[in-house]
């Protein structure tokens, strides 16, 4: 029987996403990931090196998906926040993964993919501020952080919805 390396990796990544989102890095078990993927747990180490490296790859992929699905739109930050909210509703695992990553690695621990995306987004917001299209009440990094966290904060209150996120960001910019 010939193994399909990419199919096996994809199954492991899918199983790992569910496991890490539910249990975090420390609580996740490679036995459960392998069983759910229908693979031998040795494949995890062969393809990813370690459980932590597998987690990092799962997180990197999820961040890349959000970056691709929701490109920064500095001229429509309320819409951007609304689209982030939509993606988080469709893929709540990302927020769980990011939370576990911060809890288990410290709040300053930011992966390369997330750091690169953040830098590009801050630059786009700063350019819009320089051009007078966005207010300068906050510096670009602060403004982006507020917008992104408003889209996330909506998950912590029962009255939150997309409209609340969009209206809040619009009010922030008014």
Residue 27 CB coordination number (10 Å): 11
Confidence of residue 159 (pLDDT cuts 50, 70, 90): confident
Least confident interval from 55-69, 74-88, 103-117, 145-159: 103-117
**Is 36 inside any structural domain?**
no
Is the confidence at residue 1, as pLDDT, over 50?
A: no
**Cβ within 8 Å of residue 109, ≥6 positions away:** 101, 102
In terms of residue numbers, what domain contains 82? 52-173
Average model confidence (pLDDT) for the chain?
A: 88
**Is 111 inside any structural domain?**
yes
> Please, what's the b/e burial string for 120-141 (b: 16 or more CB within 10 A of its CB; e: otherwise)?
ebbebbbebbeeeebeeebebe
**Is 73 inside any structural domain?**
yes
**Is 158 inside any structural domain?**
yes
Q: Which residue has the tokens 């893929």?
A: 91
Is the confidence at residue 97, as pLDDT, over 90?
A: no
Q: Which residue has the tokens 């909506």?
A: 154
How many Cα atoms occupy the beta-carbon half-sphere of 171 within 13 Å? 7
**Is 146 inside any structural domain?**
yes
Domain count, the chain: 1
Alpha carbon distance 60, 98 (integer Å): 10
**Is 86 inside any structural domain?**
yes
Whole-model pTM: value is: 0.81
Residue 135 belongs to domain with CATH number:
1.10.357.10
Alpha carbon distance 135, 146 (integer Å): 13
Alpha carbon distance 85, 135 (integer Å): 22
């Amino acid at each position: 029987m010939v193994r399909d390396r990419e199919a096996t990796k994809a199954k492991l990544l899918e199983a790992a996403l569910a496991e890490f989102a539910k249990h975090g890095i420390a609580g996740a078990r490679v036995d459960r990931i392998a069983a759910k993927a229908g693979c031998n747990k040795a494949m995890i180490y062969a393809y990813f090196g370690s459980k932590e490296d597998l987690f990092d790859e799962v997180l990197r992929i999820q961040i890349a998906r959000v970056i691709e699905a929701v490109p920064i739109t500095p001229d429509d930050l309320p819409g951007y926040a609304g689209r982030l909210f939509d993606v988080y509703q469709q893929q709540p695992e990302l927020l769980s993964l990011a939370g576990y990553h911060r809890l288990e690695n410290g709040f300053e621990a930011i992966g390369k993919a997330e750091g690169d995306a953040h830098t590009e987004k801050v630059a786009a917001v700063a350019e819009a501020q320089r051009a007078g299209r966005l207010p300068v009440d906050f510096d670009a990094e602060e403004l982006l952080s507020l917008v992104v966290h408003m889209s996330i904060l909506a998950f912590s209150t029962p009255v939150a919805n997309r409209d609340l996120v969009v209206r809040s960001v619009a009010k922030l910019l008014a």
